[in-house]
Amino acid sequence: MALVIIAGRKKGLKLEIPPPSVARPTASRVREAVFSMVAAKVPDARVLDLYAGSGAMGLEAASRGAREAVLCDRDPEALGILRKNAARFRDGFDVKVVGLSFPEGYPALKRLGPFDLLLLDPPYADPEAAAGFLRAAPDLGLCAPEAMAVWEMSPGTLKSIADFDIGSFRTVRTRAWGARAAAILAL
């Protein structure tokens, strides 16, 4: 699968992809749909891409006009790919790569926040990881006053999203594409 930036100043830029054992990159059609749902939030936003993998979501936001993108992952192989992909955005873009463990590393993100847009794509087998982050993020000072979040998940998790405690966030829109789904959340 080729992974390219699909819109904005870096449209067409090819990104490296971590192996499937490390990450599952968000497909172009899913990124396009997600960014159409949060389009008004992206320009001049501070974006956190948590569980970034290839960084495609955070880099897509940067290409579309986000002021800053912080790409976070804990896997050493993913971090190497993130650094390579972020290096392609050096000129005129503020992109940072941060390696940290979850949830222990969340307080370290405080010095980089607050963020206007949170992009979360945790392992599908651990949906509580995203729910726990969403519960904690406002209290940790990671969220701007009207922050939004995109939580990528399996369609099965989407069906039970109401069962998760996501703190101050509320679900404003959901959508599924085959084996992928996403919830758009707002404070």
Average pLDDT, the chain: 94
Order of all β-strands in the sheet with 143-153: 95-99, 68-73, 46-50, 115-120, 143-153, 180-186, 170-177
- Measure the CA–CA gap between 104 and 37, rounded to whole angstroms: 31
Question: What percent of the chain shows pLDDT beyond 90?
Answer: 83
Question: Which DSSP helix (H) or strand (E) runs through 177?
Answer: strand 170-177
First to last CA, the chain: 35
User: Which CATH number do you get for residue 104?
Assistant: 3.40.50.150
Mean pLDDT over 111-118 rounds to 95
Mean pLDDT over 59-84 rounds to 96
Residue 19 pLDDT > 90? no
Name residue 15's beta-bridge partners.
3
Asked if 71 and 97 touch (Cβ cutoff 8 Å), the reply is: yes
- Measure the CA–CA gap between 18 and 28, rounded to whole angstroms: 16
Q: What is the pLDDT of residue 20?
A: 82
Residue 63 pLDDT > 80? yes
DSSP per-residue string spanning 138-170: TTTT-EEEEEEEEEEE-HHHHHTGGGS--TT-E
Residue 102 pLDDT > 80? no
Mean pLDDT over 103-112 rounds to 86
Number of independent structural domains in the chain: 1
- Measure the CA–CA gap between 41 and 185, rounded to whole angstroms: 12
- Measure the CA–CA gap between 162 and 173, rounded to whole angstroms: 12
Q: What is the pLDDT of residue 58?
A: 98
Given pLDDT bands bounded at 50, 70 and 90, which one contains residue 149? very high
Q: What is the pLDDT of residue 27?
A: 84
Rounded to two decimals, the pTM is 0.95
DSSP label at residue 73: E
Q: What is the pLDDT of residue 1?
A: 62
- Per the structure, the complete domain to which residue 81 belongs is given by 3-186
Q: What is the pLDDT of residue 15?
A: 96
